[in-house]
């Protein structure tokens, strides 16, 4: 049932990339098997114009599976400075609709609907920079780190890049050959420290799960620059990143120098701890998107995005867990409660940005502008 919904027909989106998130129809250039359960999907550049993206960002792939359009966000593993074709890496997840669909059926020449690249897990490259970029990766978390490493090596000749990469076993190392080649081509500038949970008997590297002690030992083998010349980027399973964060905190690394990309959300845990059920009641919200205004009522237990989609409003979204920021909007009036805000920077939060996919209205005058 619609609650005072105002809706107008939207114009078709162009294939030309723009600053605003939109839809692209991309042709698959090739599919590369990285490991037994991971593939990289390379796309042809659109004839209307080259896709502009930043290292560390992601694409949202849209595919019809069992009669329903599914969306999943996948990080770009390529560098806009190095690679002619943008690519994402997809690792199969047990029971995962999209990852198994792509792994089983996708081939060169196929077309995929894709949302334009977005994401804040980035950095600005400058040829004058002389810094040490230390990357922590776990499993498929290597994907955006690979993009950052390639770009840093290409754009900052004075900088050094180190990667501490944890995997289940040697066969699980995504980009293994590429990483070895990058080390050979950049002696003294690029170093990889592998950590294997199940290591072969002749393995000379770190063994077991990534621990604070292993992190401490690994950091001692890396090039040393002053603290203000070092930046840290991490991406991988939540428990791994918790260990990395604690280790860096123990070393008194300022939070401003630590950047994190999450593939999974703690929204459920946060909601259980912080939800104020007395304030979350049915309230009308106004959402402004692409110049159109929509009004509808959000019930308790619903998010602003969920109800908008139920009303057949074509709002942008991807992960629906507060991580990817595809749905990001600015709350220009009223107040909302977010179950998860990890995807937003402190500056964005201060400016009033919210994530409708995990937001509930707390006042009767909520107005959110998206795009």
- 151 and 85 co-located in one domain: no
Query: Residues 162, 95: one domain?
Result: no
Q: Are residues 40 and 107 in the same domain?
A: yes
Q: How many domains does the chain divide into?
A: 3
Give, for 217, the enclosing helix (H) or strand (E): helix 212-220
The pTM score is: 0.82
Does 101 fall in a domain? yes
> Would 5 be classed as within a structural domain?
no
Q: Specify if 321 maps to a domain.
A: yes
Q: Look at residue 10 and tell me if it is in a domain.
A: no
Give the end of a domain, one of 93, 118, 143: 118
Q: What SS3 state is found at 215?
A: helix
Residue 43 belongs to a domain: yes
| pLDDT at residue number 9 | 33
Taking alpha carbons only, the member of 302, 137, 164 closest to residue 220 is: 164
Cβ pair 124, 96 in contact under 8 A? no
Residue 153 belongs to what domain range?
132-261
Task: Please tell me the distance from the alpha carbon of residue 345 to that of residue 341, in angstroms, as a whole number.
Answer: 8
Whether 17 maps to a domain, the answer reads no
Q: Answer with the one of 208, 231, 261 that is the final residue of a domain.
A: 261
Q: What is the pLDDT of residue 182?
A: 98
Q: Is residue 3 part of a domain?
A: no
Q: What is the pLDDT of residues 41-100, one digit of tens each?
A: 999 999 888 999 999 999 999 999 999 889 999 999 999 999 999 999 999 999 999 999
Side-chain half-sphere exposure of 289, counting CA atoms within 13 A: 26
Does some domain include residue 47?
A: yes
State whether 151 and 237 are in the same domain: yes
Determine the pLDDT at residue 323: 81
Residues 204-221 pLDDT 10s? 899 999 999 999 999 999
Domain boundary among 214, 239, 261: 261
Q: Please report, for residues 115, 357, 370, the alpha-carbon distance to residue 314 in angstroms, rounded to integers and kept in the order given.
A: 13, 13, 12
306 plus 275 within the same structural domain: yes
In whole angstroms, give the CA distance from residue 266 to residue 239: 11
């Amino acid at each position: 049932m619609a609650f005072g919904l105002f809706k107008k027909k939207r114009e078709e989106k162009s294939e030309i990339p723009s600053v605003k998130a939109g839809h692209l129809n991309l042709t698959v250039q090739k599919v590369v098997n990285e490991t037994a359960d991971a593939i990289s999907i390379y796309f042809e550049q659109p004839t209307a114009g080259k896709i502009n993206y930043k290292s560390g960002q992601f694409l949202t792939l849209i595919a019809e599976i069992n009669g329903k359009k599914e969306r999943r966000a996948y990080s770009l593993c390529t560098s806009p400075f190095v690679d002619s074709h943008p690519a994402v890496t997809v690792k199969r997840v047990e029971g995962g609709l999209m990852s198994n669909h792509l792994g089983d059926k996708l081939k060169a020449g196929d077309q995929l609907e894709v949302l334009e690249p977005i994401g804040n897990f980035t950095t600005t490259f400058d040829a004058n920079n002389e810094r040490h970029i230390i990357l922590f990766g776990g499993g498929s978390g290597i994907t955006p780190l690979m993009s950052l490493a390639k770009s840093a090596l290409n754009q900052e000749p004075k900088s050094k890049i180190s990667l501490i990469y944890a995997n289940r076993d040697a066969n699980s190392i995504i980009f293994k050959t590429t990483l070895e080649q990058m080390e050979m081509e950049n002696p003294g500038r690029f170093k990889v420290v592998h950590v294997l949970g199940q290591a072969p008997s002749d393995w000379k590297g770190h063994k077991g799960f990534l621990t604070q002690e292993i992190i401490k030992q690994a950091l001692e083998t890396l090039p040393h620059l002053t603290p203000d010349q070092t930046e840290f980027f991490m991406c991988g399973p939540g428990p791994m990143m918790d260990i990395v964060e604690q280790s860096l905190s123990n070393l008194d690394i300022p939070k401003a120098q630590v950047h994190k990309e999450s593939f999974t959300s703690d929204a459920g845990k946060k909601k259980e701890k912080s939800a104020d059920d007395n304030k979350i009641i049915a309230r009308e919200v106004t959402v402004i998107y692409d110049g159109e205004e929509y009004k509808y009522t959000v019930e308790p237990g619903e998010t602003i995005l969920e109800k908008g989609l139920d009303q057949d409003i074509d709002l942008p979204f991807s992960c629906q867990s507060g991580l990817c920021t595809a749905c990001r909007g600015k709350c220009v009036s009223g107040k909302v409660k977010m179950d998860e805000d990890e995807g937003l920077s402190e500056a964005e939060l201060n400016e009033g940005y919210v994530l409708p996919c995990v937001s509930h209205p707390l006042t009767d005058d909520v107005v959110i502008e998206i795009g």
